[in-house]
Each structure stands twice: as C-alpha cells, then as structure tokens.
Structure 1
Amino acid sequence: MPDWLNIALRSIGAVAYLFILTKLIGKRQIRQLTYIEYIVGITIGSIAGFMAMEMDGPIHHSLIALTIFALFPVLLEWLSLKSKVIRNVVEGNATILIKDGKVLEDNLKSERLTTEDLLEHLRMKNVFRVADVEFALMESSGELSVLLKSQHQPITPQHLELTVSPAEEPQAVIMDGAIMDEPLATIGLNRNWVRAELEKAGVALENVFLGQVDKGGQLYLDLYDDKLQVPQPTEMKLTFATLKKCQADLELFALETKDRRMKLAYRIDSEELQDVIDQIKPLLIR
C-alpha cells in the first residue's frame, strides 16, 4: 500500500474514531472544559496525530490510548455526580470578584486577572460601572456572572405590574423564496394563507428572503432588497382600537339615554367588554 494512501486511511480512521469519542464524552465537555478535560483534549489530539502519521506502529495501540483518555473525563464526571468533594477538585469553585460595588483585589489576584481583564469581562455583560454591580462571580468555566444592583436592573413588565402574553417561538414559513409546508402545518395555516398575506403586502414570493409568523398569526417579511420597506402588520392594533371604540360607545350610550333600563344594560355591556379587552390586550398589543 502506498504511504500516502496509508496516511489517508489512518487520518480518516482517526477523525471517525475521535467523532465517536466526542459523542461519548457529551455536549457539556464541548461547551466548557474543566482542567482535566483541557489536558485530555490536548493529549487526544497528539495521539490522533501520531496515529495518522506513524505508519510503523500498530493502529490498535493508538486506539486503546485514545479510548482510555476519552473515558477518563467521563469517569470523573460520574464520580463528580456522586461526590461534591471530587466535584470541587475537578471543576473548582466560583470566586467572588465584586461585592456591593467593591472589587475584591485578593480574589482578583487569585484568579490572575488584571483590572483591565475585569473591566473587559464586565463590558461583555454590558456593564460599564463597577459601582452598579451587586455581585460578580468568576465561574469555574471562566465566565463572569454579574448581578446588577436593583436600581440598575432593566425594567420588566413585572416591575410595572403589566400582564404580557407568553413568548412563543415564531415559525419560519418562507425561506429563500420558498414556502415551508411543515411549519405552516404546525400553526394550522396553508399556502393559500401565505399567498394572500403576500398579496396584501404587495410582495412577490421570490423576493422574500425570510418570512416568520408569530403566535398571533401575523406575517413578518424580510426581503432580499434591504432598501425596500415592508409595511408592518397592523391587524392586531386595529382590532384593539375597534374594541376600545365599541366600549367607549357603550359608555356614551349609557350617559345619553334617559331609559334607566337601557342605561343599566349599556353600563353592564361596557364593563363586560372592558373585561374582555383587559384579558386579550397582552395578545393584541406587543
């Protein structure tokens, strides 16, 4: 067998076996590496390179070494699940770097971080003032977790005691100028609905790069030509405005009529309609 073909086959075998071992190790080790996993990753790469290029040695020796090194972090992970002591040794602990807006210099030195490093990590979390931070911890993965002081946290609907509709994933029903049938079926729509919405928007299907439908049934379009502006859907807002007008008309009728029975009926209808509006407002106004 020619040397080049031998190297090619060994390289393909090494890549295939590394892929199998990576699947065995799992996604967690891909996302973040502990000290042991970092060491194992470097060693496995070296062994795989040796396996591909060393044509004199038997290939099964390299496979055995790869298997042992790959199974080592799996074993440690299993032991870590059973013992917190082992987990602390293998994965380490989080370190508090900022507390009550004060930088803990000793902890910063223990993590071998400079002031510039800390500020960079904070900027990556959209924090530019140390005084705004309640807690900042360096996780064992090397990521910085930041908790802002209450007065500097972003305002949410809960802070304002507002009720909003739950967020749901929009369905991509048009991609690259083609209608996607499976997402349409998921939300109970069809191609005729998409074509009707495109006709209302005055847009040709082949000009649509991406089309998404939210849970309210509104189609949002992104065109290939970024200079063209697509009108935003207004059906929900118009529906809300119509309901509010009906409720206001009922209140007006209750004020104008002289018939006490009709006045009471109009007032009751107005209150009931207002209850309906309050319930569906989060779905219509987003």
Structure 2
Amino acid sequence: MSLLPLWAEVTLRTLSAVCILFVMTKILGKRQISQLSLFEYITGISIGNIAAYISLDTDNDWYLGLLAMSVWVIVSVGMEFATLKSKWVRDIVDGKGTVLVEKGAILEKNMAKERVTLDEFMEKMRSKSIHALADVEFAVMESNGDITFLLKKEQQPLTAKSLGWAVQPEREPQSIVMDGIIINDALRRAGFDEVWLRKQLAAKGVQLEEVYLAQVDDAGVITIQTGERSIP
C-alpha cells in the first residue's frame, strides 16, 4: 500500500519514467531518433508502452517496469553491436534496399513487393525536386522507407570535377559566438583568438552582448547576426 496520495504517486511515477526514458534514449544513441530500423521501431514502441505502465499502473511495483525497460535496452544495444559485426544479421534486422527504377524504367514487381503506388512514388520524386520520371536513371527504396534517386547524367548539376576545375578543400564555417558568448573551442579551430574577434566586432560597430550568432569561414570572413539584422 502506497503512503502517497494517488495523484502524487502517478506524478512521481511519470516524472521518473521521463527521466528513465531520457537516460535510456541517450544509451541507445542518436540513430534511435533519426532513422529507425524495424527492430528499433518495435523497441521504441515497447519502451514507450512500458513507460506508460510505470506511470499509471499503480497496482504493481514500478521496478518491474524499469526491469523490463532495461532488458529492452540491453537487447537493442546488443543487436546494434551484432549488426555492426555481421552483414547477415544486418540484412535481417535492417533489411535491404529495393531497386524501384533501373536504367530509367520502373520495376513494377518491386513496386508491388514494397506496396508503393505510383502516386506515392511521384510524391516522393517531387519532394526531391524531381518532376519528370524521364530524368531518373536509378531509384532505390532504402531499408528505412525513404526513396533515393540518381538523375541521368545530363540532368545532374554541374560540379567543379565535371568541369575539370581544381579547387582547394574547404572547412565548415565555425560558430564562434552564440547568444553573446564566445565559443573558444570553435575560435581556436578556426585559427583565431579572442583579441582578433573583438577587433572584428569593433570594426563593425557591434558589441559582443548584441551578437546572436557569429560565424567565420575558411577565408577568415566573419558574418554576424544580431537580434535585428545580419552584418556581413
């Protein structure tokens, strides 16, 4: 018999379930949030149901739900390691991609196998800014349900490589100030220091406290975003 009122016990159980879910999601990793395999999808649903059990089933001990969640997490993490080590396991758990378009022709049998209608296929094409099937050389339904497309050679955008141009490698822009706070690690990665940054801000007539976001590119060009305007 619980010593707490029912409303307090449910509140405490719910808060505990949220905290436990947060910790276990961190253990499972970012992939659980972004692209789910079939097994990960089942795991997510099961853990969510168990969390609801912990919150509301006051007739049973809450630690049984915690035990069940822990078992699911252990199995899921173990399965992820197994898929990293074995292609055979990976093919079973994650599945394989299915070719839907090959050499510009739709493979009707594969479309039927994956239960993809022409309307759904065309909608996915338009979402990738492709409006004509004649532009598509190859299309695959990936194991996560997304469809990826390869355009025909003449429809692909021009690149420096296709034009025979030699270009220097470029680093990603570094966010060196966020919410008025200097990000020292990013500033060092960009090859600059705080003295340089303050000189740049002074030259543009901006106070550090006003800066919402400041980035510096590979060439040392700084762009500043305040709450009201963008300063190149």
- TM-score interval for Structure 1 and Structure 2 normalised by the shorter chain: 0.7 to 0.9
Give 1:59's aligned amino acid: W
Q: Is the 8 A contact 1:25 1:71 kept in 2?
A: no
TM-superposition CA deviations, 1:198-222 (whole Å, max 9, x none): 4544x33365443322222222233
Task: State the shift of 1:173 in Å.
Answer: 3.3
- Equivalent position SS for 2:33: helix
Structure with the largest fraction of helix: 1
Q: Whose relative contact order is higher, 1 or 2, with alpha carbons under 8 Å and at least 6 apart?
A: 2
- Structure 1, 175-184 or 85-94: larger mean CA deviation: 175-184
Task: State the shift of 1:136 in Å.
Answer: 0.5
Question: Paired residue for 1:46?
Answer: 49
Give 1:38's aligned amino acid: Y
Q: Distance in 1 between matches of 2:10 and 2:187?
A: 49
> What are the within-5 Å matches in structure 2 for residues 237-276 of structure 1?
none
Alignment of 1:160 with 2:167, yes or no, is no
2:71 equivalent among 68, 73, 77 = 68
Q: Is the 8 A contact 1:171 1:183 kept in 2?
A: yes
Task: State the shift of 1:180 in Å.
Answer: 4.8
Identify if the C-alpha distance between structure 1 residues 191 and 89 changes in structure 2 by more than 3 Å, giving closer, same or farther.
closer
2:114 equivalent among 111, 117, 141 = 111
Task: State the shift of 1:147 in Å.
Answer: 1.3
1:15 equivalent among 11, 18, 26 = 18
Alignment of 1:137 with 2:170, yes or no, is no
Q: Distance in 1 between matches of 2:138 and 2:19?
A: 44
Task: State the shift of 1:182 in Å.
Answer: 4.7
Identify if the C-alpha distance between structure 1 residues 147 and 196 changes in structure 2 by more than 3 Å, giving closer, same or farther.
same
Question: Paired residue for 1:149?
Answer: 152
Give 2:74's aligned amino acid: L
Question: Paired residue for 1:204?
Answer: 206
Question: Paired residue for 1:189?
Answer: 192
Alignment of 1:101 with 2:96, yes or no, is no
Task: State the shift of 1:143 in Å.
Answer: 1.4
Task: State the shift of 1:57 in Å.
Answer: 1.0
- Structure 1, 21-30 or 128-137: larger mean CA deviation: 21-30
Task: State the shift of 1:69 in Å.
Answer: 2.5
RMSD: 2.5
TM-superposition CA deviations, 1:81-121 (whole Å, max 9, x none): 44433322222110111111111122112111111211121
Identify if the C-alpha distance between structure 1 residues 132 and 15 changes in structure 2 by more than 3 Å, giving closer, same or farther.
same
1:91 equivalent among 78, 82, 94 = 94
Q: Distance in 1 between matches of 2:15 and 2:102?
A: 51
Structure 1: stretches of 5+ with no match in the other structure:
233-286
Identify if the C-alpha distance between structure 1 residues 50 and 200 changes in structure 2 by more than 3 Å, giving closer, same or farther.
closer
Task: State the shift of 1:179 in Å.
Answer: 5.1
- Work out the percentage of aligned pairs sharing the same amino acid: 39
2:80 equivalent among 59, 77, 82 = 77
Q: Is the 8 A contact 1:108 1:114 kept in 2?
A: yes
Q: Is the 8 A contact 1:136 1:144 kept in 2?
A: yes
Alignment of 1:122 with 2:148, yes or no, is no
Question: Paired residue for 1:268?
Answer: none
Alignment of 1:171 with 2:202, yes or no, is no
Identify if the C-alpha distance between structure 1 residues 193 and 142 changes in structure 2 by more than 3 Å, giving closer, same or farther.
same
Q: Is the 8 A contact 1:207 1:223 kept in 2?
A: yes
Task: State the shift of 1:144 in Å.
Answer: 1.3
Q: Is the 8 A contact 1:133 1:146 kept in 2?
A: yes
Identify if the C-alpha distance between structure 1 residues 177 and 17 changes in structure 2 by more than 3 Å, giving closer, same or farther.
closer
Q: Distance in 2 between matches of 1:193 and 1:101?
A: 54
Number of aligned pairs? 228
Question: Paired residue for 1:274?
Answer: none
